[in-house]
A = this chain, B = another copy of it.
Amino acid sequence: METKINVLRALADETRLRIINLFIKSGQVLCVCELVDALKIPQYAVSKALTIIKNADLLTAEKEGTWVYYELNKGIVHNKNLFNFLKNYLSDEIFLEDETRLNDRLLLREGDKCVVGIIPESDLLKMIKQKAEA
């Protein structure tokens, strides 16, 4: 009981909802800096939001060097239903913009892994272009 409400409370915040949306729509494992760039929100805010979502058992985390990769916790049956529902429910514009920025940011990955930290938005397009040329 406590748990279901914790889950719904974890969803009841714009930042957290935008984060969850990115996991659901991208279907990816994501690290903190990728989320920071996609959301254009301070690192500490993303980190705090992730902690709350994780404490509600909606995410799992795995450390890899200095990077921490988060992932939807599909190990809970109810979570899967929730994610399926949200996949269609969250269709608003702000979410789409996040998704676009995340897709851009993921172009900088190498072998499915994040290899750079937080990138100022002004540099992102240049870096993508550079990488495309190389």
In the complex, whether A127 has a CB less than 8 A from a CB of chain B is no
Is the contact region of chain A dominated by helix, strand, or loop, or is it mixed? Answer: helix
In the complex, whether A82 has a CB less than 8 A from a CB of chain B is yes
Q: Is the CB of B90 within 8 A of A81?
A: no
Residues from chain B with Cβ under 8 Å of A116 in the complex: none
Q: List 8 A-B residue pairs with CB atoms under 8 Å apart, sorted by A's residue number.
A: A4-B17, A4-B89, A4-B90, A5-B13, A8-B8, A8-B12, A9-B12, A81-B89
Number of copies of this chain that the complex holds: 2
Q: Give which listed residue, B8, B78, B81, B92, contacts A4 with CB less than 8 A.
A: B92
In the complex, whether A93 has a CB less than 8 A from a CB of chain B is yes
In the complex, whether A29 has a CB less than 8 A from a CB of chain B is no
